[in-house]
Amino acid sequence: MKVGVLTGGGDCPGLNAVIRAVARRSFARGHDVVGIREGWRGLVDRKLEPLGPREVSGLLPRGGTIIGTSRTNPFRIEGAVEKVLANFQQEALDALVAIGGEDTLGVAARLYSEHELPVVGVPKTIDNDLSATDYTFGFDTAVFICTEAIDRLHTTAESHNRVMVVEVMGRHTGWIAVMSGIAGGADVILIPEHPISIDEACDDIMRRHDRGKDFSIVVVSEGYELEGLEDEGEVDEFGHTRLSQRGVGEALAREIESRTGFETRVTVLGHVQRGGSPTPRDRVLATRYGLKAADLVHEGSFGRMAALHGDNIVDVSLEEATAELKTVPPDWYGVARAFFG
Ligand code: F6P
């Protein structure tokens, strides 16, 4: 077989570990592996490169993706779906492993259901917002980075009696904020799914200061809806605005300072959360997902996605995985909230 691999959407730690696992298992079966450059763009513009044992050597700890990525959506570009299908055929590919989040896998699901493209998916995103899997790879690393940052902000916050606002990624869901906030002992966490008001957040901070604590850590998810703050700036081919441009952390810090009178500073963690080497947990998860994807290809089980259920790697339908976003359930937010104020 000739197996194509692509990585789409925002990069995240562990992508290379998946590529390595797909390739290693495929080589063991005598299959050839081809890297498709820059996500779906590589199939539209026919940018491919062979991946042999030498190319996939040393990839396990390496961040980013050796085959590049993009937010290209062939369903939004005139004639692009036809190009994808034609290039797939002309390159004599037998199967495709698409490694991505809701957008990349949404395209994969449609190409499978509408055009019978033989594709399997691997769930990637630091946001952890894909349904039908307990965890996506990349999330653990992002949470680790944010937790370390919160720990560091604690010591400087305490020295200066300040409120520290930390803005983290997560687009429409607050998984990174909740997990790193719990792990880092945040005093208030604001996420899109359970939007407590700024008044409530300020009450929590005041209550804490009344108890004799002179500093507070506030974690805010970039997608938290702050009154009066507009989405602006570029929109990508999947219709998403760049949330980091909204400046929710800055706006929140200004509000907190003016309402409480406490000196407030803001740290926007940004793309640091996506860079660098994956944690051991993400390396292992990415590796297991990659092996499963290669197995699905070998069996001809297309339209499926590797997923984690409990401690087991299973497969689920791509359609199910991309039907809706996995948001933070109330009980998870309850764990965080038990420590507010
Ligand atoms: O989906 C992953 C993610 O990192 C989001 O958390 C964030 O909103 C977005 O990508 C940032 O995208 P870009 O890399 O295009 O700035």
* Stretches in the chain below the pLDDT threshold 70: none
Q: Which atom of ligand 1 is nearest to the CA of 127?
A: 6
Cα 206 to Cα 148: distance, rounded to the nearest angstrom: 25
Pocket of ligand 1 from Cβ distances under 6 Å: 10, 101, 125-127, 169-171, 222, 242-243, 274
Coil, strand, or helix at residue 308? strand
CA 294/CA 19 separation, integer angstroms: 10
Give phi and psi for 224, each to the nearest 5.
-65, 130
C-alpha of residue 39 to centroid of ligand 1, in Å? 15
Q: Which residue has the tokens 């992002």?
A: 142
CA–CA separation, 125 and 131 (whole Å)? 12
Instruction: Give ∠ CA 79-124-66 in degrees, rounded to 5.
Output: 75
Using alpha carbons, select from 186, 167, 200, 179 the residue that is nearest to residue 281.
Answer: 179
Cα dist. 22→58, 61, 281, 299, 322 in Å? Answer: 14, 15, 18, 14, 22
Q: Which of 159, 21, 117 is nearest to 318 (CA)?
A: 117
- Residue 231 three-state SS: coil
- Could you tell me whether strands 163-168 and 2-7 are parallel, antiparallel, or unpaired per DSSP bridges? unpaired
- Name the residue with the closest Cα to ligand 1, atom 3: 10
pLDDT of residue 83: 98
Are 229 and 176 in contact by the 8 Å Cβ rule? The answer is: no
Contacts of 293 (CB under 8 A, 6+ apart): 18, 21, 22, 97, 99, 120, 121, 122, 306
Orientation angle between helical segments 80-90 and 102-115, nearest 10 degrees: 70
Task: Give the mutation target among 15, 127, 273 for probing the ligand 1 site: most ligand atoms within 8 A of CB.
Answer: 127
Residue type present at position 57: S
Residues designated as active site: 127
What integer pLDDT is reported at residue 317 of this predicted model? 98
Q: What is the pTM of this model?
A: 0.97
